[in-house]
Amino acid sequence: MRFKGKHVLVTGGAGFIGSNLTDALVREGARVTVLDDLFTGNLDNISCLSDIEFINGSVTDFELVDRLVMKSDIVFNLAVRNIIVSTVSPRLDFQVNTGGVFNVLQSAKKHGIERVVYASSASVYGNPRYLPINEDDRLSTLSPYAASKLAGENYCTAFHESYDVPVVMLRYSNVYGINQNPNNPYCGVISKFFDNMLNKYPPSIHGDGEQTRDFTYVDDVVEATMIAAQHPKGDGEIFNVASGIETSINDLAAYIAKLVDYPLPAVYVDKRDIDNIRRRVLNIEKIRRSLRWTPTTNLRTGLKKTGEWLLGIRSSKTRETRIVNVAQAG
Judge contact between 18 and 12, C-beta under 8 A: yes
Mean pLDDT confidence for 98-117:
98
61 & 183 share domain:
no
Its domain, for residue 323, covers 177-213+247-278+298-329
Q: Say if 208 falls within a structural domain.
A: yes
- Give the pLDDT score at 322: 44
Judge contact between 227 and 217, C-beta under 8 A: no
Distance (Å, whole) CA 277 – CA 176:
18
pLDDT tens digits for range 157-181 = 999 999 999 999 999 999 999 999 8
193 & 316 share domain:
yes
- CATH code where residue 56 lies: 3.40.50.720
Name the residues annotated as catalytic: 145
Count the domains in the chain: 2
- E strands within the chain? 7-11, 31-36, 52-56, 74-77, 115-121, 167-172, 175-176, 204-206, 212-213, 216-217, 238-241, 247-248, 267-269
30 & 61 share domain:
yes
28 & 161 share domain:
yes
Q: Which residue has the higher pLDDT, 183 or 118?
A: 118
Distance (Å, whole) CA 77 – CA 122:
16
Identify the DSSP state of 43: G
Instruction: Name the 3-class secondary structure at 244.
Output: coil
Mean pLDDT confidence for 131-151:
96
Q: How confident is the model at residue 314 (pLDDT cuts 50, 70, 90)?
A: low
Q: Say if 288 falls within a structural domain.
A: no
- Give the pLDDT score at 185: 67
Mean pLDDT confidence for 198-227:
96
203 & 111 share domain:
no
